[in-house]
Structure formats: C-alpha cells, structure tokens
Amino acid sequence: MSLLDFTELAVKTCQKLGADESEAFIQNQQIMEVVLERAEIQNERFKTQSGVGIRVIKDKKLGFAFASKLSKESIEETCREAISLAKVSVPNPEWVSLPLKERLPRTPEGIFDPEIAKISGDKMLNLVINAYDAAKGYDKRVDIDDGKFSAILNEIAVANSHGVEAQEKTTRIEGYLVCIAKEHGETSSMAYEYDVSTMLKEFSPEKIGRSAAEKALSSLHPKTVESFTGKVILDSDPISFILFYPVISSVNADNVQRGRSLWAGKIGEKVAASKLTVFDDGLMPKGVGSLNFDFEGVPRQKTPIITRGKLEGFIHNSFTANKEGRKSTGNAYRESYNVLPTVAASNFVIKAGKKRLDELIAEVDKGIIVRRFSGNVRPESGEFSGIAKQASYIENGQIKHALGETMISGNAFQALKDIIDIGCEIRPTEIRAYTPPILVDNIHIISKQ
C-alpha cells in the first residue's frame, strides 16, 4: 500500500466509527548522516522514521492519536483511540471545519533530487572529506572541532473526509562545520558555517569548509573598542534570528489571535523601512520549505508580508483562517506525524537589495559586522541581547580588526525601521528564512574593556 492508501484507509475507518470529520497525516523520513567528533570523521548512520497522525472531530470535539507503525491493524486501532479521545474532549465553539478539497498547484521545481534520495554512504563520506580538506587546506592555523552532514528523504501524505488527497516526496542535503584557528598560543572563537539545499549539485561542502576557516581566521587577534550606539552589518544567519524570527512570530495568525503579536490590527501600517519587502513563498523553486500543499493538504501560495515597509498580511492554517472567515494561506506545518498542525512559515524571503557585502562595509563610517550571534531574542517584544561572534570593527568603510567579547542589544521592531541598506547575497538559513546581509543603525554595542 502507498502512503496515500493508508491515509484513505484511516479516513474511511474513522468515518465508519462515527466521526463528523477525520484527517490522516503520514510521514516517512529517511536520514543518512556523517558526524565529525573532535575532528574525527565517524562512519555514516542511517535513521528512519515513519508513522501516522489521525485527527477526528465529533460534535466540535477534537481527538488526536498517532502510531509509529504503518499497517491496517495499527491504523484501525489508532482510529479507535482518536474517536475515544474526541468523545471525552471539551467542545471547541470556534471550530469550523477541516480543509475542503481544492485544486493543487503544480509541484515546485527542484524539491526532489533522486541523487540525494539514493545517496550512498561512500558519497556522503566524500562530501564530508571535501569540506574537511577545504577547511584544513585553507590555512594551516585552522583546526576542525566538529560537524555533521545529512541527506534527508521526506515523503508525506495527507487525506481528509472532505476529499483532500495529497502526496509528495522532497529531499534536502545539509551540513555544518565548527572551526577554530590558533596562532602564537592564541585561539579564535568558534566559527560555525553551514549550507542547505534541495539539490545535491547546488550543495558545496568546499564552500562550507572555506567559509568556516575564513571566519575562524578573521576572529584572531581581537581588540576592544569604546562602547557606542551605531551601525551594525548583520550577516544572513544573525539577521534571520535577530530580526526575522520576531517577524515570523508576529505574522503568525495564531499568535495574532492569542494577543501575542505587537502587529495585531496593524495591517496597512508602516512597520519597517521602505527598503524592506518580505513574502512567504511555499511554491519557490528549490525552496527548502517548498511543496505544492501544506501539511493539511491546502494549496501552498506566495503571500505578501511586508511591501516597501508596509505590513500586508498574516500567515494562516485552516483553523486560524476559519476563525476570521478567511482563506488559509497554506501555512499549516507539522514537525512530525505525532503532533497537530500549527502555523509556520514555508520559505520566508527577504527581497534582496543591490549591494554586495563589501559595498555595505564601504558605507559604514564607524560600526561593526556580526557573522554569528549567541544570545536571546524575545519574539513578542522584539528585545534582543547577546554576544556578537566573528565580529569585526569597521572604520571609514574598511574592516580594521576582529573584536573581542562584544555584546549587542536593541529591539527588532525598531531595528526594522532603522534599516539603512540591504545586501544582494541571499541564502537559506536554519529557520527557513532566505536572508541577505542587512545594515542597521542605532544598535547598542558594548565592548568589554
């Protein structure tokens, strides 16, 4: 039986048991990974995970159960468990309906790569060796601390009692290295670099190695500066966490409806600098979060979030959309088959500017560049503070030296309004945000003397 066959069996069984509505979500995931521990390359590991999550509604009462085994017997038992749980649940007066059947768009280009799906252990080891050699060969002062490379095949299927039926396979390859540099008894801070792609031919372990080595070397011989408030270039990774993690949280319709978003009631208002345009695109070719349907079987789409600084809208799953009489934006997401769907971004894309990173640096009379951030960000308030890692001091448009222990702090929502310029080099980050480097003003920079 295919995954879709199992979902249809689950839906039919639940309906026979008396459910008003029912839904089955099945996931089958295979992961091959190679780990580096204390600079030693370990053998490849192969992991699998599969199971079914069944959601039923009876008299506006929810029942949810899951099983890690896919068989006719386990699915029937899970259906009975979900029905039993629904009978003893509290009715939700805000419940409207599971998603209705809609025509799905074409599958986005480049989200499944047979080379990743069938990758061998030897090929995975070669990828890690290439990254290792690129880092060690970049400079003899560089040492590798740890790392991990993974090839992931993910297949999902979803069906419900309203005729929704969808099934698709996706692939992803990802890897990271942590490097340090040593010279004259001095050790740099830990330098972290990674890459992620849906296509093997567009994944570069050599780039990971070179970039990790370069970041480690750039943090050697740090100096301190007087604390000041001013300009900061946040590279793609720190900008995604500091600025766009709060943005993603704030446009999540569930957070808006629960009073956890400062942007509730602000659609149409200016929330950022005019240079900033952001959209969520679940259909982006080769997007790490792309699929033609979300994890409830609703069609994915491109949703405007911020256009030239103005807030355009929020992202919804079917429940949050039904509460407001709206159409879902196709942003239902599940981390696994054993949890209920939430609201999440698919590919959260910040529109690129026109300047390269070196051109952004040339714009800074006095400031710093931050390539990694270790700290806290409060998504509800936007307040952030933490240590700027792989940071360097900039003066008169030139990088002068690495910075020693330096803290940065501010407010993400104010920083959105203080954006000076946006770079052109976009990359996917670990929160599924596609971000370029961004130059921001009025950030508090506290350098330990």
* DSSP 3-state of 38: coil
Q: Is 205 helix (H, G, I), strand (E, B) or coil?
A: helix
**Can you tell me whether residue 109 is helix, strand or coil?**
coil
> In tens digits, what is the pLDDT along the chain, a chain of 449 residues?
899 999 999 999 999 999 999 999 999 999 999 999 877 888 789 999 999 999 999 999 999 999 999 999 999 999 999 999 999 999 999 999 999 999 999 999 999 999 999 999 999 999 999 999 999 999 999 999 999 999 999 999 999 999 999 999 999 999 999 999 999 889 998 999 999 999 999 999 999 999 999 999 999 999 999 999 999 999 999 999 999 999 999 999 999 999 999 999 999 999 999 999 999 999 999 999 999 999 999 999 999 999 999 999 999 999 999 999 999 999 999 999 999 999 999 999 999 999 999 999 999 999 999 999 999 999 999 999 999 999 999 999 999 999 998 999 999 999 999 999 999 999 999 999 999 999 999 999 998 75
Report how far residue 35's alpha carbon sits from residue 32's, in angstroms, rounded to the nearest whole number: 10
pLDDT at 1: 87
Packed helices 3-16 and 72-87: angle between N→C axes, nearest 10 degrees: 40
- What CA–CA distance (Å, rounded) separates 305 from 325? 19
pLDDT of residue 425: 97
Amino acid 124: pLDDT: 95
pLDDT at 188: 93
Q: pTM of the full predicted structure?
A: 0.95
Per the rule left: phi > 0, alpha: psi between -120 and 50, beta: everything else, 110 is: left
In the chain the domains, ranked by start, together with CATH numbers, are 3-216 (3.30.2290.10), 222-449 (no CATH)
Stated as kind and residue range, the H or E segment containing 376 is strand 366-377
200 DSSP 8-state letter: G
CA distances from 302 to 217, 322, 351, 434 (A): 40, 19, 13, 14
The answer to whether 358 and 222 are in contact (CB under 8 A) is no
CB crowding 328-352: b at 16 or more within 10 Å, else e: bbbbbbbeebbeebbbbbbbbbbbe
Is residue 339 helix, strand or coil? Answer: coil
Are 134 and 205 a contacting pair, CB within 8 Å?
A: yes
Cα–Cα distance between 425 and 436 in angstroms, integer?
5
Cβ neighbours, 10 Å, residue 428:
24
